[in-house]
């Protein structure tokens, strides 16, 4: 994989991902593209549902466009319709738990911002998700919308997987909040009721 590390002892790095090719139902979700360089061959990975990150991105003050939180959430939801056994390299963490936990973290942060700013951004998620699915996946939009919530349902039904997902989220997106189990369960139930159920019903 192509990873760019800063010229220091910092632990962070940038990993390059390719924009996914046009979606074809039944095609492998993960694709690798070979890159030839003078120091050897590398691979740039693309994930089919990451095409959602391209839909109406948000501009920042730095002139860089970023993916909408609800698009990153939807991409992770579609990538993990079930909780698989694939682990993150060298750890006990399931990749599905990390990604589905990230969905709950994004929802939790959005709810917190709505409370702080007096907005109702979460209520806009289902319609935006539906518009993005139509734009990126055409006639597959409806079945994708209908199955988007299966991974979260599985996560909320498994105490051990939810505990692991929360632990990873508290090390990442929620690191400054130290969210507890009751709070993340409440977020999950609200996310199901206000985002996933309306999306499936569109």
* SS3 letters across the chain: CCEECCCCCCCCCEECECCCCCCCCCCCCEEEEEEEECCEEEEEEEEHHHHHHHCCCEECCCCCEECCHHHHHHHHHHHCCCCCCCECCCCCCEHHHHHHHHHHHHHHHHHHHHHHHCCCHHHHHHHHHHHHHHHHHHHHHHHHHHHCCHHHHHHHCCHHHHHHHHHHHHHCCCCCCCCCHHHHHHHHHHHHHHHHHHHHHC
- Domain residues for the domain of 70 are 49-201
Q: State the Cα–Cα distance between residues 54 and 166, nearest whole angstrom.
A: 27
Q: Among 74, 83, 98, which Cα is nearest to 196's?
A: 74
Predicted local distance difference test score (pLDDT) of residue 104? 98
Q: State the Cα–Cα distance between residues 178 and 181, nearest whole angstrom.
A: 10
Question: Per the domain annotation, does 2 fall within a domain?
Answer: no
Predicted local distance difference test score (pLDDT) of residue 11? 78
Question: Per the domain annotation, does 118 fall within a domain?
Answer: yes
Question: Per the domain annotation, does 6 fall within a domain?
Answer: no
Q: State the Cα–Cα distance between residues 175 and 44, nearest whole angstrom.
A: 29
Question: Per the domain annotation, does 29 fall within a domain?
Answer: no
In order along its 202 residues, the chain shows pLDDT tens digits of 888 888 887 778 888 888 888 887 777 878 899 999 999 999 999 888 999 999 999 999 999 999 999 999 999 999 999 999 999 988 999 999 999 999 999 999 999 999 999 999 999 999 999 999 999 999 999 999 999 999 999 999 999 999 999 999 999 999 999 999 999 999 999 999 999 999 999 9
Beta bridge partners of 32: 45
Predicted local distance difference test score (pLDDT) of residue 96? 98
Predicted local distance difference test score (pLDDT) of residue 163? 98
Predicted local distance difference test score (pLDDT) of residue 196? 98
Predicted local distance difference test score (pLDDT) of residue 77? 98
Q: State the Cα–Cα distance between residues 122 and 109, nearest whole angstrom.
A: 10
Predicted local distance difference test score (pLDDT) of residue 109? 98
Question: Per the domain annotation, does 194 fall within a domain?
Answer: yes
Predicted local distance difference test score (pLDDT) of residue 188? 98
Question: Per the domain annotation, does 79 fall within a domain?
Answer: yes
Predicted local distance difference test score (pLDDT) of residue 29? 79
Question: Per the domain annotation, does 97 fall within a domain?
Answer: yes
Predicted local distance difference test score (pLDDT) of residue 47? 85
Predicted local distance difference test score (pLDDT) of residue 12? 82
Q: State the Cα–Cα distance between residues 47 and 94, nearest whole angstrom.
A: 18
Question: Per the domain annotation, does 37 fall within a domain?
Answer: no
Domains: count for the chain: 1
Predicted local distance difference test score (pLDDT) of residue 123? 98
Query: Do 136 and 20 meet the contact criterion of CB atoms below 8 Å apart?
Result: no
């Amino acid at each position: 994989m192509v990873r760019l590390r800063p010229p220091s002892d910092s632990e962070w790095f940038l990993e390059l991902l390719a924009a996914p090719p046009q979606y074809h139902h039944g095609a492998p979700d993960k694709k690798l593209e070979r890159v030839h360089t003078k120091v050897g061959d590398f691979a740039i990975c693309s994930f089919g549902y990451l095409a959602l990150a391209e839909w109406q991105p948000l501009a920042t003050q730095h002139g860089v466009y970023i993916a909408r939180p609800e698009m990153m959430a939807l991409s992770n939801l579609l990538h993990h319709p079930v909780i698989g056994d694939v682990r993150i390299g060298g750890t006990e963490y399931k990749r599905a738990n990390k990604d589905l936990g990230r969905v709950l973290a994004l929802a939790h942060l959005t709810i917190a911002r709505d409370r702080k700013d007096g907005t109702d951004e979460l209520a806009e998620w289902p319609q935006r998700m539906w518009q993005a699915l139509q734009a990126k996946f055409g006639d597959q939009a409806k079945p994708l919308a209908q199955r988007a919530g299966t991974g979260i349902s599985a996560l909320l039904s498994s105490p051990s997987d939810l505990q692991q997902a929360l632990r990873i989220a508290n090390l990442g997106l929620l690191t400054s909040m130290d969210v507890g189990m009751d709070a993340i369960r409440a977020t999950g139930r609200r996310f199901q009721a206000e985002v996933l159920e309306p999306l499936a019903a569109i």
